[in-house]
A and B are shown apart, each in its own frame.
Chain A
Amino acid sequence: MNMKIKESKLLKIGLLVILVICTQLLTKITDTQFYLTQLTMSAYYALLVIGLTVVMGYAGQISLGHAGFFAIGGYLSAALTTHNLIALQAHPLVKGLGSVGMLVSGQDLYGEQLLVFAPWAACILAVLTAAGIAFVLGIPVLKLKGHYLAMATLGFGIIIFRIGLASEYFGEADGISEVPGLTLLPALGPLGSLSVSGDFGLRVENYYVAWGLLCVGLWLLLNLIDSRVGRALRAIHGSEEAAEAIGVDTARFKLNVFVLSAVYAAIAGVFLTHYNGGIGPSEASVMKSVRYVALVAVGGMANIWGTLIMGVGLTFLSLRGVFGSYDDAVFGSILILVMLFAPDGILSLNVKALFISKRTTDGH
C-alpha cells in the first residue's frame, strides 16, 4: 500500500511536469507566449499557497498573515539589492560582507559608484529573516487557537503592511523598483546565464524556473505529509490533547510547520520580486492574506493537489484581469461560498457527486 502511494505520487508529479511542458509548447505554437508571464507568477503564488495548506489543512492552524512573510522575503531581497552601501564602505561590517563575496559593486545609470548586496546573498538573508520572524512570532502566537490565532496573525500581517508603507527604506507607497535579476547559474560556454528576471528574452526560462521550483516544493511537502511528521501534524489537527498524550510535542511541531510555511512564502516573495523587478505594499496587504486562505479553502484544506490546482487557476485568472476591479470581492465571495457549500473544497464536491450518482445507478 505504501508503494502504491509512493508510485501514484511520482506519477502525478510526472503528469504535472508533462502538463507544464505541454503548456509552454502550446503557447509557442499558438503564439500566445504572453500567457507565460502570468503562469510564472501564478506558480510562485501557488508555492506560498501549498506551504500554507500544510499549516492550515494538515496541522489545523490558521494564518491570516502569510502575505506578511511573502512581503518580508520580497522587500528585504529588493531593499538589500538596491540600497547603495557606498557611504558605509568603511564600516567593518560592510567590509566583512564584501570580503566573503556577499556584496557586488557597479555603476548606476548616472555613472555613480554602487555597492549593493549580491542577489543570492540578499535572497538567503531575506528567507532566513522571514524564518526567524516566523519562529519568534510563532512561539507565543501558536499557543492561541481558532479565532484568537486568526486575529493574532492578522495583526502581524497589518504590522508588516504598515511598515512597508511607512518606512522610507522600503519605499513607502511606491515600494521598491529596479530590483536586479537573481542569477541562478552563471554563463557557461555557449549557454547564457540563467537568472530570475523580467527580461523578455528569458521568459521561457523563467517559466521553467518557477514551475521547477513549484514541483520541487510540492514533492517535498507531499513527502512530508506522508511521513512520521505528517501523521503527527494531522494528529494535532484531530485532537491536540490526544496527540500530546502519545508523545507528540505539539508546540514544537506547530512552530516548525509554521516556520516551514513562512520559508515557502518568503521564497515565493523573493523569486517573484526579482522576476517582477520590484515589489509594492499591496503584496503585504491583508486582502492578499485573505486570498491565500481562500485558495487553501477552495482547494479542500487538507489537499495539496487541490490547493495547487485552485491556487494556480484562480491566481492566473486574477492576474489576467478577468475579475477586473472586483478582484478582492471575488476572492471574498469564494471564501464565503466555499465555507457554506463545500467545506471540503471544490474538487471534493465533484468527486462526491460523481460517487453518489454512481452508487445510485449501481443500486437500481
Chain B
Amino acid sequence: MLELKSVHKKFGGLQAVGDVSFSVPAGSIKAVIGPNGAGKTTLFNLIAGNLNLSSGKVIFQGREIQGLKPHQVAALGMARTFQNIKLFHGMTALESVMVGRHVRSRAGFIAGMFHSPATWKEEKEIRDKSMQLLELLGIAEFADTEATSLAFGQQRAVEMARALATEPKLLLLDEPAAGLNIYETAEVGRLITRIRDMGITVLLVEHDMSLVMDISDEIVVLSFGQKIAEDVPLSIQQNPEVIKIYLGEDEEEAVV
C-alpha cells in the first residue's frame, strides 16, 4: 500500500528524518512510535505532501507521490487527521464531514451558482454518506452543532469522520488518542480496528503505548529521525534498544 524508500528531510542543517525506509502492507495497522522530537509528525507531513522530501521516495499504491501537493495525494486515496485538531470554524459537524466528500463529488462554481438539477442528487448523496459516518462514529446527535464547540473527544471523531468521508485507501492518524482518557482511548482503539476491518489501511503515530501495543500489526520505532526498530508489538516490547531510548541509558534500571 505505502512504501517509504530512504526518506530524508533536512531543515537547514538539522536532519529531521534520516534514511527511513519501511512499508505498510494493505489491510494492516502500522504504528510509528518514538520519543518527542523523533520526527514522527515530520514523517507524516512528508508522506501527505505537506513537506517536500530532501531525498528518497514515497510510493503509494505503486505510484511515486513525493512532490505532489496534499490535495493531489488526498485525491489518490490518502486521508489524514492532525495532532492538534484542525476543524473548520463556523461549520457544523455535518458540514465538516460533507467537505470531506469533496474529492468524491464534482459540482463546480457554475453548477453551484445555478443549483442545477444535476447537483441535487450529488448533494443528497454527500449529505447521506456524511450522516452515515457521523453515525458510525457515534456523534450523529451533534450533526447540527458547530464542530469547534464540541467536546474534545467528539472533535476528534468529527475529524476522523471527515477523513473517512474521502473514502481513503490509507488513513494517517496523528496521535488519535492524545488528550483522551483511558475509556475514550479504548474506544478509539476499537474504532481503528473497525476502520481496518472496513478495508482501510491505517498508519498511526501515537504516544499511548497500551493503544499501540493492542491494535498494531507492526510497529516502527523512530529516534532522532532514524529508524531503530521495526517489528511486531511483542518483539518491540522486548527490543533492548527500544527499551533504552524509552527508559534511559542504564540497562540494569531498564530491566527493573
Residues on A facing B (Cβ under 8 Å): 1-2, 220-221, 223-224, 226-232, 234-235, 237-239, 241-250, 256-257, 260, 302
Complex Cα distance, B109 from A223, in Å, reads 10
CB neighbors of A among B77-99 (8 A) = 79-80, 82, 86-91, 95-96, 98-99
- B127 adjacent to chain A (CB < 8 Å): yes
Q: For residue A245, which residues in chain B have a CB less than 8 angstroms away from its CB?
A: 48, 50, 70-71, 74, 79-80, 82, 86, 163
B100 interfacial contact with A, CB 8 Å: yes
**Given contacts A227-B107, A250-B71, A241 and B87 within 8 Å (CB-CB):** no
Pair B102/A2 contact, Cβ less than 8 Å:
no
In the complex the two chains form, what is the Cα distance from A226 to B91 in whole Å? 12
Instruction: Rank and list the top 3 A-B pairs by shortest CB-CB distance, nearest first.
Output: A238-B88, A227-B112, A247-B103
Residues of B within 8 A of A250 (CB): 71
Q: In the complex, what's the smallest C-beta–C-beta distance from A260 to chain B, in angstroms?
A: 7
In the complex, the answer to whether A247 meets B71 with C-beta atoms within 8 Å is yes
Question: A-contacting residues of B (Cβ < 8 Å)?
Answer: 48, 50, 69-71, 74-75, 79-80, 82, 86-91, 95-96, 98-103, 105-109, 111-115, 119, 122-124, 126-127, 144, 162-163, 165-166
User: B50 to chain A: which residues have CB within 8 Å?
Assistant: 241, 244-245
Q: How far does the alpha carbon of A231 sit from the alpha carbon of B101 in the complex, in Å?
A: 10
Task: Give the distance in Å from the alpha carbon of A221 to the alpha carbon of B102 in the complex.
Answer: 19
Question: When the two chains form their complex, are residues B103 and A237 in contact, meaning their CB atoms are under 8 A apart?
Answer: no
Select from chain A the residue with minimum beta-carbon distance to B48: A245
Is there contact, CB below 8 Å, between A246 and B86? no
Measured in the bound complex, the distance between the Cα atoms of B107 and A230 in whole Å is 10
- Known contacts A227-B107, A239-B88, A246 near B95 by CB under 8 Å: no
With both beta carbons as reference points, the residue of chain B lying nearest to A244 in the complex is identified as B70
Contacts A244-B74, A246-B74 given; indicate if A224 touches B91 (C-beta within 8 A).
Answer: no
B154 CB, nearest partner CB in chain A, Å: 17
Whether B112 and A229, one on each chain, are in contact in the complex, defined by CB atoms closer than 8 angstroms, is yes
Query: What is the CA–CA distance of A250 and B162 in the complex, to the nearest angstrom?
Result: 17
**Complex: how many Å from CA A220 to CA B116?**
11
Min distance, Cβ B89 to any Cβ of chain A, angstroms: 5
Contact check, A232 vs B90: say whether CB atoms are below 8 A apart. no
Closest-CB distance, A94 to chain B (whole angstroms):
33
**Are the CB atoms of A228 and B71 closer together than 8 Å?**
no
Instruction: Report the separation of the CA atoms of residues A249 and B71 in the bound assembly, to the nearest whole angstrom.
Output: 6
User: CA separation between A1 and B106, bound complex, in Å?
Assistant: 22
| Closest chain A CB from B78 CB (angstroms) | 9
- Tell me the complex Cα distance, A231–B126, Å: 12
Q: Which of A226, A232, A242, A260 contacts B87 (CB 8 A)?
A: A242
How many cross-chain pairs have Cβ atoms below 8 Å apart between A and B? 117
Minimum distance in angstroms from B48 CB to a CB of chain A: 6
Q: Across the interface, name the chain A residue whose C-beta is closest to B80.
A: A245
Using A238-B87, A247-B75 as known contacts, say yes or no to A229 and B107 having CB atoms under 8 A apart.
Answer: yes
Selected from A223, A246, A260, the residue in CB contact (under 8 A) with B102 is: A246
**Complex contacts, A229 vs chain B, CB 8 Å:** 107-109, 112
Chain B residues contacting A235 (CB-CB under 8 Å) are 88, 91, 96, 99
Tell me which residues across on chain A come within 8 A of B165, comparing CB atoms: 246
- A247 touching B166, Cβ below 8 Å: yes
Most chain A CB within 10 A, of B50, B70, B103, is at B70
CB closest residue in chain B, given A6: B115
Given the known interface contacts A2-B123, A235-B88, the answer about A223 and B115 at a Cβ–Cβ threshold of 8 Å is: yes
Instruction: Give Cα A256 to B70, complex, Å.
Output: 19
Additional A-B contact list (5), CB under 8 Å, known A227-B119, A246-B166: A223-B115, A235-B99, A244-B74, A245-B48, A246-B74
Residues in B with CB closer than 8 Å to A260 are 109
Cα distance A302–B146 when bound, in Å?
15
| Contact residues in B for A232 (Cβ distance below 8 Å) | 99, 102
B114 close to A223 (CB less than 8 A): yes
- The complex places the Cα of A312 from the Cα of B163 at a distance, in Å, of 41
Give Cα A6–Cα B234 distance, bound, in whole angstroms. 57
Question: How far apart are B182's CB and chain A's nearest CB, in angstroms?
Answer: 28
A239 and B107 contact, Cβ closer than 8 Å, known pairs A2-B127, A245-B79: no
* CB contact under 8 A between A237 and B102, given known A220-B113, A221-B113: no
B193 to chain A, nearest CB (A): 23
> In whole angstroms, what is the CA distance A257 to B122 when docked?
22
**How far is the CB of B224 from the nearest CB of chain A, in Å?**
26
A and B contact pairs by CB, cutoff 8 A, 26 listed: A224-B113, A226-B115, A227-B107, A227-B112, A227-B119, A228-B105, A228-B106, A228-B112, A228-B123, A229-B107, A230-B112, A231-B98, A232-B99, A237-B89, A237-B90, A238-B87, A239-B87, A241-B70, A242-B82, A242-B87, A243-B99, A244-B50, A244-B71, A245-B70, A247-B102, A260-B109
Which residue from chain B places its CB closest to the CB of A259 in the assembled complex? B109
B91's closest neighbor in chain A, by CB?
A234
Name the contact of A246 in the complex, choosing from B69, B90, B103, B112 (C-beta under 8 A). Answer: B103
**Which listed residue, B75, B79, B126, touches A228 by the CB 8 Å rule?**
B126
Complex contact A231–B99 (CB within 8 A): yes
Contacts of B114 in A (CB 8 A): 220, 223
Residues of A with C-beta under 8 A to B108: 229
The reply to whether A228 and B107 form a contact with Cβ atoms under 8 Å apart is yes
Q: Report chain A residues within 8 Å CB of B113.
A: 220-221, 223-224, 227
Contacts of A249 in B (CB 8 A): 69, 71
Minimum Cβ distance to chain B for residue A237 (Å): 7
Give the complex CA separation of A312 and B87 in angstroms.
34
A248 to B101, CA, bound (A): 10
